[in-house]
């Protein structure tokens, strides 16, 4: 699957669409999800054009991968989540329920999060 430069997160990265920014560095941007599914629901995206975790893990440089995952932990700390705990999730492809074709990690927190995945 080739990268769609018009996907919504590409537009956010280019500043064409606003976001509620939590963190930005050389490798990543983090912002609040527009339809939060927990008291804290933040998305972390790499700045490079990667469709999915599959694409990112295969094609990104070691620096991009390290920078991105350091940012995920940093964002969680910035949000005060480690003390009580939190969850990260990356939907990948159709069966994974991925809607936006730019790799992103969800960070959920702020309440007990229950079962790992919905049953059925
Ligand atoms: P996924 O199903 O993993 O692709 O998740 C995509 C997420 O992006 C969903 O949780 C949406 O609510 C969120 N989303 C879509 N558009 C925006 C936007 N403009 N700003 C923030 N979050 C968004």
pLDDT above 70: percentage of residues in the chain: 98
Distance 58 CA to ligand 1 centre (A): 23
Q: Which atom of ligand 1 lies closest to the CA of 33? A: 22
Distance 82 CA to ligand 1 centre (A): 23
Distance 36 CA to ligand 1 centre (A): 9
Q: Comparing 117 with 91, which gets the higher pLDDT?
A: 91
Return the H-helix or E-strand segment holding 64: helix 62-78
Query: Is pTM, for the whole model, over 0.95?
Result: yes
Which of 23, 41, 104, 106 is the catalytic position? 104
Distance CA 62, CA 74 (A): 18
Predicted confidence (pLDDT) at residue 118 exceeds the cutoff of 90: no
């Amino acid at each position: 699957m080739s990268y769609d430069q018009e996907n919504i997160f590409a537009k956010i990265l280019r500043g064409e669409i606003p976001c509620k920014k939590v963190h930005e560095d050389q490798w990543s941007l983090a912002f609040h999800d527009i339809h939060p599914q927990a008291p804290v629901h933040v998305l972390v995206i790499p700045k490079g054009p990667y469709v999915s975790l599959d694409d990112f893990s295969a094609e990104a440089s070691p620096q991009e991968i390290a920078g991105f995952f350091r940012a995920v932990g940093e964002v969680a700390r910035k949000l005060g989540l480690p003390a009580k705990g939190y969850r990260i999730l990356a939907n990948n492809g159709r069966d994974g329920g991925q809607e936006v074709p730019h790799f992103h990690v969800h960070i959920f927190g702020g309440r007990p999060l229950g079962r790992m995945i919905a049953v059925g």
